[in-house]
Structures are given as structure tokens and as C-alpha cells.
Structure 1
């Protein structure tokens, strides 16, 4: 259960099998950061297969921001906060510290997740990351899918979002 919660928190951006958020157009960059909310699901084809889904609120930018993950009933599962040089994962009374949001996600999932690219994808940009294939064909309807083929294990991220 603890590994699953950390996996969930790490993926925020991370955020797969799209749920139901109200559709919105591609968000635009702003000087104060960006904000999205919706549902995300993640499937990692590890042994055993790991899956997770949650409601999310994502605010900020790749350099500094926060991600709050909640259950369908509204219970807070995890809070991630990051700024240059530090990333915090809070779940309940426990707080774990990491040097960066990338380190937090790598520790949580066992793989590097492209946080900067995720912000770009949500904003409708096809930022390229080796090993990842974003599908932005439904971004105007508030849907994003990204697949990681390498390194293994394969991962599938699906997000249904609206601009917060």
C-alpha cells in the first residue's frame, strides 16, 4: 500500500485511463505558472503490474509547484511540493524529502518521469523526450495520453483535465 501511494504521488505528473473531468482547451503559459485539475491513471507494466488512479490538482511549473492527489471520495492521498533544490512528499503525518521533483518521481516509480515535458504536454506542446510518445490529438477535449516504451518497464499515463 505504501509503495502504491508513493507511486501515485510520484506520477502525478504525474499523473492515466482517463476519467471524467470537464473538458477544456489547451492551457496557456503564464508568468504565475499553470493550473490543471481532473483525473489521472497510470499503468506500469512491471512485475507485478502496478496501476493507480486519482483526482488531481496540479499548480505551478516544472521548477516550482504542487500536486495534490485525492481519492474519488475527496480524501487526500498525497501532497507533493517542489522548488529548486527540494521536493516534498507528504502523506498523512509522514514527509519525505528529495533533492528535486525528478528524484522524488524516480524514487517513487523506479523510472525518470519527464516533469517539464508533462507541463508542456498539458499546455498542448509536443515536447520530445527520449522513450516517450505523447498523444496530444485530444488535448482540445481535455485528454492526454503518454506512453513510455523505454526504458522498461512500459508505462501508460492517461489524464482527463480542465484548466483550474
Structure 2
């Protein structure tokens, strides 16, 4: 397995550079499962479009189609471009996380560490899975808008500390 050995800035932005596609490609995704007579179904597969914007110097943003499987502790995320090409694959388990982009593979001790290194902002993975399920889990420094979750949209914004970060996910039924 080839490990990426680059300076901090190129390594941090490797995922963002790989995923740079026009924001006009914003599309749809699948929402969390609907409640059943036994309560909320535990969903383990999502797909759709996501956009991430990290403000700062330099500001970074990307948009991609995604397929997310698993949970905050064990799972995978595949990001694809507008023509269906695989841009990145991310796999994680309790022992660590691995990101594959083209011919480059990066590893970290956790999914959170890998995402923060590659996007430049901490992403609250446990809370993200709660948000996908429509649960308004509070995270210090983040605000979430789940008001349109029934219509297939969620927005999470990190306002403190820097860098300000906005994550938008769109779902379809």
C-alpha cells in the first residue's frame, strides 16, 4: 500500500483537490428511513449529494455524489464525480481509517483525524450519523438545521472555532 508523504498543505487538501467539481452539480440523495410501528428504523446506507465548504486561507469547497454505508464506528464512503468516476473511497473501523484517491492512499488513527487532516476542519462523525437519522444531536461550535429533513435536506455549520465550515447534504426518497 502506498502512503502519501507530502507537505502538510498538499496532504490536507488532497481530498478537496480530488473532489473539486462545480457547485452547480448539487443534486439529490436518500433520506433516513421512515419510522415504522416499532420506532425509527436503523439505517445503514445513504446516497445522494454533499457539499463541504471550509472558509479560511485558502478557502476550500467541493461537491460530490456519495454512497455512505455503516455507522460512525465501522463504515465506508465513496465519492463520485459528475460522470460517475470514483473520486475517493474512505473506509474506517475502530483500528483506524484509510482514504484512497486515485493512486494515493492515506491512513490515520480514526475517521475524525483523517477527515480533519484532509478537509482542514473537524467533522463530528458520530453526530453526523445522528443528523442523518433526524436526531438533533448538539455539538459545541456547530449548529444544525434539520427542519427540512423530511424533504431530504440537512445543513450543519461550524461557527466556532475557526475555520467556519458548512456541510450540506441533500436526500431523495
TM norm structure 2: 0.80
Residues matched between the structures, number? 156
Matches within 5 A, 1:95-134: 95-134=105-144
Paired residue for 2:86?
76
Paired residue for 2:26?
19
CA distance in 1, matches of 2:29, 2:99: 27
RMSD, matched Cα: 2.6
> Do the aligned partners of residues 102 and 24 (structure 1) sit closer, same or farther apart at CA in structure 2, a change above 3 Å counting?
closer
Q: 2:168 aligns with which of 142, 146, 158?
A: 158
Runs of 4+ in structure 1 off by over 6 angstroms are none
Gaps of 5+ in 1: 11-15
Gaps of 5+ in 2: 1-9, 35-39
The one of the two structures with greater contact order (alpha-carbon pairs below 8 A, sep at least 6) is 1
TM norm structure 1: 0.84
Cα deviation code 1:54-106 (max 9, x no counterpart): 00000100000000000011011100000001100011122111111011012
CA distance in 2, matches of 1:25, 1:61: 13
Paired residue secondary structure (2:127): helix
Q: CA deviation at 1:110?
A: 2.7
Cα deviation code 1:21-80 (max 9, x no counterpart): 1564556453xx611100111111111221110000001000000000000110111000
> Do the aligned partners of residues 54 and 114 (structure 1) sit closer, same or farther apart at CA in structure 2, a change above 3 Å counting?
same
Larger of the two Rg values belongs to structure = 2
- Establish whether residue 89 from structure 1 lines up as the match of residue 96 from structure 2: no
